[in-house]
Amino acid sequence: MSEEVTNALVNLDEDKTLELVKDALKTTDPLKLIEALREAMTIIGEKFDRKEYYLTDMIFAAEIFDGAIKQLEPHLQKITTEVLGKVVIGTAQGDIHDIGKNIVVSLLKCAGFEVIDLGVDVPPAKIVDTVKKVKPDIVGLSGLLTTSFEPMAKAIAYLENAGLRSSVRVMVGGGPINEEWAQKVKADAYAKDAVEAVKLAKQFCG
């Protein structure tokens, strides 16, 4: 059954994936189903890397995954699983685009990370306050518009000023962002896409 769930999600068949998960819960360990879903998202990510799947496919896959997880959540309340790390993520102030960020969030959850999603148009001060409160391993900052550049740079500077910079790794990403800009604002890494972001997160928390 787990293999069928994996194949259904890889094939982007929403109805079949959700129906299989629902049926499998009667006889299958929910953790095995989560692994099946994670495996599917990993395969989908690899297909995206090879340009076999497109951004729209990634978005749809993330939606199916989230729907399946919601079915599983009531059965997981008493189950504790190992968390690879904690990530605070958000689209920087001045930008309300969230498609790329949302895909990163889904893939990070698939990989076993606890994710605190701050949403869009996030002020630098809110990022600092959240880091103080939840003590994450990684901060992820996203931006598609150039208006997000200054707030993103400020967020990293504010973390430094607050004495928090050494306790977290900062990843940046988004359409106009590149490696050179990441180095300029003293980020730890630039992720060109969601798959790369997860690889970096695993390296940071490995």
Residues with active-site annotation:
95, 97, 148
Buried/exposed 69-91: b ≥16 CB within 10 Å, e otherwise:
bebbeeeeeeeeeeebbbbbbbb
Coil/strand/helix, residue 1: coil
Strand ranges, E, within 54-146: 86-91, 114-117, 138-142
CA 200: distance to chain centroid?
A: 11
Partners of residue 114 on adjacent β-strands: 86
